[in-house]
Structure 1
Amino acid sequence: MKNFVQVGDVLDYTPSAPVAGGTAVAIGKRVGVVVKSLAANEQGALRVSGVATLPKVEGDALTQGDLVYLNAEGLITKTSTSNTPAGYAAYPADAGVATAQVQLNG
């Protein structure tokens, strides 16, 4: 196929500030996870599909399939207002638990 570019589960990403590997970041109206730590203005890989374990708002209880969002603090939450769509809860996560497994939007 002449117009095929790439599979699309990992995209090139260049942060304006240093970012640690495994960190969820907003790219426009979507979320990706930085594959390995990057310095400011260093191009690297950003995973935009698949399931990732990410830090979440501990007060939120997630049911499998709940839509989830990335807030300004870099935490997964059920609150949609002013937050970036991240995907959905791949598995349940109780309130009081610090992480959630998220199926990224892709």
Structure 2
Amino acid sequence: MKNYVQPGDMITVIATAAVASGDLVRSGSILGVAATDAAIGEEVELKTTGVFDLAKTSAQAWTVGAPIYAIAASSLLTNVPGTGNYLVGVAMAAAANPSATGRVRLNGTLGLAVTA
């Protein structure tokens, strides 16, 4: 295949805010976890697929296989499809209420925003 470029599970983007390794980062419709730290304007590699322990809304209990959404205003993850939340993956482990993190398999891109 002469037109093959790369697997696409690691994508380079320009940081629009300071990023720490392990942060969930959105760049347009691309979503991934930062492989390294980056300052504003620097390149950062994002791992767009895989299973990660990520910051979640503490006061929620998650079940395995539940759809998981990103809250645009806070970058926390939630299992509630509220208006403006974007589908980002599925829960891969149960998460207690309260808990600070949840295990998520990322889709690699943002789903459409929930509108109602």
TM above 0.5, one fold?
Answer: yes
Cα contact 1:89–1:102 (8 A) shared by 2: yes
Give aligned pairs, total: 106
The amino acid of 2:104's aligned partner reads V
How far off is 1:30 after superposition? 4.7
| Percent of matched pairs sharing the same residue | 38
TM-score, length of structure 2 as denominator length = 0.84
Task: Label 1:30 to 1:62 Cα distance change in 2 as closer, same or farther (>3 A).
Answer: farther
1:14-93 aligned within 5 A: 14-71=14-71, 72-80=73-81, 81-93=83-95
The CA RMSD measured in Å over matched residues stands at 1.3
TM-score, length of structure 1 as denominator length = 0.92
How far, CA to CA, are the matches of 2:54 and 2:31 in structure 1?
11
Moved >4 Å (runs of 4+): none
The amino acid of 1:105's aligned partner reads N
Partner of residue 101 from structure 2, selected from 95, 99, 102: 99
Cα contact 1:58–1:96 (8 A) shared by 2: yes
Question: Unaligned stretches of 5+ in structure 2?
Answer: 109-116
